[in-house]
Structure 1
């Protein structure tokens, strides 16, 4: 009751107080409520993805040839839903996040980041995992996290382009951290990948966002490592040849995948590109049919993220067939170019595990099986993303293999250099050009 009188007697003081209260409220909502939502969404997507994979396995067990029917239809349906109801949700979601950071558009309504897109991303990704598409949930979680944090833009102190960029960076980093339960990798992903075109200036805010979202993941899922723990070791002084071989082969394969994905997405002859654009649903159905054929030929081994197969080969408790890596690479490429929602992080790690298993079989004296698989997984991911620091930190945190720090670091750096010769433009930043306004597409590539 006394507040109006105080405001009349001390208008400057009361206005300043109100402004500070509102400012604190908006900052607290952004840096506390936002990360809570990101962490909750990430955990929900992880749980839903696990149930979707179980459902897919049950269907495959009951009817091994059913993918020939439901995968073409499912790919076409998911492509239609993403184009019709959730435009901007196609693919990984990381290119959209990168484009949103790089664009000069400061409008509140963004076509790449919104609550609608976040909801669509969750539903479509779960749909893709249910039908066995070779997609991951980690890339989508980046766009979901960035979309959630972007909701706070235009409120309180978050009014300018720098504040907008900070919110998106923090949301994307929190998404990676919560998806993999790797907080350090989330920070490095923001520095190395999302802020490649801009000076990183969101240190404390990004750290707070990653910590809070990580605590949500930790409280709901427990203190777990994505692929369990591995006892693989490699003395970098005696394992130089293993590091070189794994780095070169893994990086070359990752660069090849990136180049193929870029070529199919944006470098096709104009006539063929127009044909695929006008027949997008048919193209998605054909991709689904080919993936189904590959999956049936491999007895269902390549369907989904490949999490179980990767974990088994890391623990040396399961062997992969020689064709696993190449089959997984081809099927992942088809799942990535057909216009459905889904990331490439988890499938890329599975491809790396398959190639690593091949190298360990061909060169049994090079190093232990587990060490070679770890090195190639990190190298392949580095070759695909051209983010070597993020790649070796993700592998180290996901497998609790801190004893492999130097070998993983070395293999990732070598792989990134090899990949650059094959694919000069970083994958996510090249794909991001499709979402940028025309004048902004001609920025200089690194």
Structure 2
């Protein structure tokens, strides 16, 4: 006969050592997801306010970009290098590197509350100065840093914390839960741990619910119902994929070459004079703004939205200038993402290609070019396709934008062998000692 006292003792031990740790870990992901969602919404609101402040200053003083650009970029680059090393750029390469690190101390240099705080402040500083930068990439690093913090409170740390934080950051920033999951699978890890799938999904749901509760049910660029009937108009898929894929690959190539350095006196000068280089990038941004009638500053969200609606009156130079301005903002060393600006560049290129394809509605061409250019930059076709599809709620264009993303990836690889995020992540990895030396210790 079973001893009831022994039975209850075994049951109590099972609860304490199995069930309680398991549910505590799951609660950690949910609470972390809620926190990431709240931070993403707060970053969106603050980013809009920062851009509004910049445009207000430009309205009062039209030549303000020529002061704010060089001065603000130099200040942001100095603050980043002096107090927040690891916070530069979009932050996604840092999270990819941290995801593959085992050493907690090395991870904390790339994902921590200090990095997250600096990232937010310096992103806002860049936007106040007119930087052509997005908030979605920084939200990924902030989300991963938040989950890393919560993970340090849990004795049984989960390997999927950074993955979940990154996915939740994208999901909340774009209000696109599926895009967050696909981003975590394709871009962050290039693989997927089955045992982490439920935890990542729970974190994304928590972050999405937070965004939904605060800002409501919305699509990032609104809904479009345009379609592309099968026929000669499908040439637009090939044209958008090739041209925008090549442009995206060129953009990535520029970022990678500047980041890795190049064998030229200019390359050595950039490494030895980073603050002055940042100031020159800010000056270049101001010149682009002057040539583009002020349209190239900020995330590019409003410009892309007007093109999607088919009633844009932007200069034909908007797309190329936005590409240059985003490249200058990215290589300057200040924190800032490239997701939103990349979508704006794609929309701008669609506006330029529209006269060549008069039978294709501009809204359709914009969706194709946005997907293709983003694919060309990150070389993650699934992520690009799902993000644009969720942001526009256009199910009629699913097959065309799938094809455009595949064509764009092939075109991009002709210019740049690897996507920008994974190429840049290598620079945040610790240098490995040669195996022959490792065996001597």
TM-score (norm 1): 0.91
1: distance between equivalents of 2:390 and 2:12? 50
Q: 1:86 aligns with which of 70, 84, 91?
A: 84
- Cα displacement (A) at 1:272: 3.8
Aligned to 2:257: 263
Q: Deviations over 1:314-335 (max 9, x none)?
A: 1012222111111011110000
- From 165, 169, 173, the equivalent of 2:167 is 173
In structure 2, what is the equivalent of residue 300 of structure 1? 294
Judge conservation of contact 1:26–1:155 (CA < 8 Å) in 2. Answer: no
- Report how far residue 18 of structure 1 moved: 3.5
* Distance apart, 1:278 and its partner CA: 2.2
Structure 1 residue 56 corresponds to structure 2 residue 54: yes
**Residue deviations 1:383-431 (CA, integer Å, cap 9, x gap):** 1010111111111111111111111111011101111121112211110
Q: Spell out the pairing of 1:332-371 with structure 2 (5 A cutoff).
A: 332-365=326-359, 367-371=360-364
| SS, match of residue 403 in structure 1 | coil
Post-superposition shift, 1:237? 4.7
The C-alpha deviation readout for 1:77-129, integer Å capped at 9, x for no partner, is 11111111111100000000110112232448611000111111111111111
Change (3 A) 1:109 1:254: closer
Aligned to 2:140: 142
User: In structure 2, how many angstroms separate the alpha carbons of the residues matched to 1:440 and 1:295?
Assistant: 46
Structure 2: distance between partners of 1:293 and 1:248: 29
Deviation for aligned residue 1:20? 4.5
1:116 alignment counterpart: 114
Q: Distance in 2 between matches of 1:346 and 1:156?
A: 35
Instruction: Please give the alpha-carbon distance, in whole angstroms, between the structure 1 residues aligned to 2:10 and 2:266.
Output: 66
**Structure 2 matches for 1:201-212, cutoff 5 A?**
202-212=196-206
| 2:272 corresponding residue in structure 1 | 278
Counterpart Cα distance in 1 of 2:230 and 2:183: 25
Q: How many residues align?
A: 432
Deviation larger for 432-441 or 323-332: 432-441
TM-score by length of 2: 0.92
Cα distance in 1 between the residues matched to 2:243 and 2:367:
13
Which residue of 2 is the match for residue 152 of structure 1? 150
1:228 aligns with 2:226: no
Structure 1 unmatched ranges of 5 or more: 1-6
Q: Hey, which bits of structure 1, 4+ residues long, moved more than 3 A?
A: 7-22, 106-109, 154-159, 197-201, 236-239, 270-274
Question: How far apart, CA to CA, are the structure 2 residues paired with 1:29 and 1:115?
Answer: 20
- Is 1:315–2:309 an aligned residue pair? yes
Contiguous gaps of at least 5 residues in structure 2: 436-441
Partner secondary structure for residue 232 of structure 1: coil
Q: Which residue of 1 aligns with 2:438?
A: none
